[in-house]
Structure 1
Amino acid sequence: MTDEFEEEQETQPLVEHLTELRDRLVRAVLAVVIIFISLIYFARDIYNFVAQPLMQALEGTSTMIATDVTATFLTPFKLTFFVSVFIAMPFLLYQIWAFIAPALYRNEKRLAKPIFASSIVLFYLGIAFAYFIVLPPIFMFFNAITPDDVALMPDITTFLSLVIKLFFAFGLAFEIPVATVILVTAGVISPEGLAQKRPYVIVACFVIAMLMTPPDVVSQSLLAFPMWGLFEIGIFFGKLAIKNRPAQTEESEEA
């Protein structure tokens, strides 16, 4: 009888956690769906805005094409969905934070809040950097090197795949300072240890840029150098985090 009672006590918290996880997943999905429904009417305008850097590069020389009959409808539709996810990202991350926060100690929450906020800001900065700084020179470069006898007419579906890939690549790359601070404050590695591994990090930045961008020097450099700079920023803030880290006397306290 006692064993059955103890087993029931262990099962109830698990069921409660699963129920909370389900509720937060439902909220996250609903947030994306509501934003998507609100934006679907503007799907063509959104696509035109995202395609503007390419259209400016092609101005007077060529235009975009659709090789599939359904692409003119499905491509703006897909882009609107991705935009909905991007817009809902703070709410999605908040749901993750709210789910794991009860398991954190008070001093861990104190550190996690600025990390959470900065991760959102950096993600959007990465996307803005890709759109305003990276896409125009990439498209200008490809248009400039096109042979005279070849008409550059990008397919709208291929263009969307490239843009979404770059947005995610730069959005995640701008999270490097956050990841660095987490590693340092968790005691996985010291800022000095990270600094000693700088040559390997620089090589890794260029390898990652090569894998995540089009095969040209311009786009690879526009991702690799910011990643390197963000790594240095992460080391700087990692040192500050260790310097200002509160005493560990509250580790046994629950939030």
Structure 2
Amino acid sequence: MSDSKKTVTPDSPEAEQPFISHLIELRNRLIRAIAAIGVVFIVLSIYPGPSGLFDLLSHPLIAHLPKGSTMIAIGVISPFVVPIKVTLLVAFMIALPAVLYQVWAFVAPGLYTHEKRLVMPLIVSSTVLFYMGVAFCYFFVFGRLFTFIQSFAPKVITAAPDIEAYLSFMLTMFMAFGTAFEVPVVLMVLVRFGLVTVEQLKSWRSYFIVAAFIIAAIVTPPDVVSQTSLAVSMILLFEVGILAAKYLVKYSAPPSEDEQDAQSSTS
């Protein structure tokens, strides 16, 4: 008598294997992403070191302080903790491509071919745009912002910013400009999945201009320089996103029914 074929039910151990394998894969990807950040953190800790890295990131502020002024540390352990936090932040930013690749490697097996053609360009472009936003903030906005602030400071006040306050300010500004530079990616995703059309985006230009200045007023310090820089950047990137959305829709369009039939017949 031959053995009957075993039926796999939802509660059977065989049905749990795919879920467990996904958890194991997710764990491995997380470990690799954390390891990438850890390796960069160790390298940065050796050179230029936490103190040297903090000096580099605080240079735009120090260069615009009155002669003889320095930053201060109010907290007891701030001189140790703040440079470590800055090093970890920079390590994450440098290792961001490796982290995003692990995300891509985890979700790629479940995507169709036309979806894979969409995801990889989005990951690359979002990473590059985030770097551009942070660089724009550091090299362009900070210098003009600190010059503007010092020009309004009364002469009887000696500026001596706290390092923890500067770290919080720097994180806020980097995230604001890095996220704002993702506007083209957001528009491309919205258009690609049919949530909006390019024509609708064009008709919303005037509303977006108002929204850009409102967002800039909320997420940046109350000064004209940073608010205007962020708002104008978002407006320009809005136009870039409209142009990019047209080409990405064509590039990542799903195959037609005839192409699907041809692929199924050859498989």
- With normalisation by structure 2, the TM-score equals 0.89
AA matched with 2:19 = L
CA pair 43-247 structure 1, distance change in 2 beyond 3 A: closer
Alignment length (residue pairs): 254
Deviations 1:154-185 (A, max 9, x none): 11110111011111111111111111111111
Shift of 1:69: 2.5
Match for 1:93 among 84, 95, 100? 100
Q: Does structure 1 retain, via aligned residues, the 8 Å contact 2:8–2:14? A: no
CA distance in 2, matches of 1:5, 1:245: 35
**Alignment match, 2:137:** 130
CA distance in 2, matches of 1:62, 1:55: 8
Structure 1 SS opposite 2:64: helix
Q: Percent identity?
A: 43
Tell me which of 205, 208, 219 is aligned to 2:215.
208
Partner of 1:16: 21
Give 1:77's aligned residue: 84
Q: 1: distance between equivalents of 2:33 and 2:121?
A: 22
How far 1:3 sits from its partner (Å)? 5.7
Give secondary structure in 2 for the equivalent of 1:2.
Answer: coil
Deviations 1:207-247 (A, max 9, x none): 22112111112111111110111111001111222345545
1:5-26 residue CA offsets vs partner (Å, 9 max, x unmatched) = 7743432111111110111011
Aligned-residue Cα RMSD (Å) equals 2.0
Q: Within the alignment, does 1:27 sit opposite 2:32 as a pair?
A: yes
Map of 1:235-246 to 2, 5 A cutoff? Answer: 235-246=242-253
- 5 Å-filtered alignment, 1:1-255, equals 2=7, 4=9, 7-41=12-46, 42-60=49-67, 62-246=69-253, 248-249=255-256
* Secondary structure in structure 2 of the residue aligned to 1:237: helix
Q: Is the radius of gyration larger for structure 1 or structure 2?
A: 2
Distance 2:201 2:10 in 1: 50
SS in 1 for 2:155: coil
- Unaligned runs of 5+ residues in structure 2 are 1-5
Question: Residue type of the partner of 2:51?
Answer: R
**Paired residue for 2:3?**
none
**Cα deviation digits, residues 58-102 of structure 1 (max 9, x gap):** 141622111122111111111001011101100011111111111
TM-score, structure 1 length as denominator?
Answer: 0.93
Gapped runs of 5+ residues in structure 1?
none
1:107, 1:251 within 8 Å by CA — same for their partners in 2?
no
Comparing 241-250 and 148-157, the one that deviates more:
241-250
- Going by fraction, where is helix more abundant, 1 or 2? 1
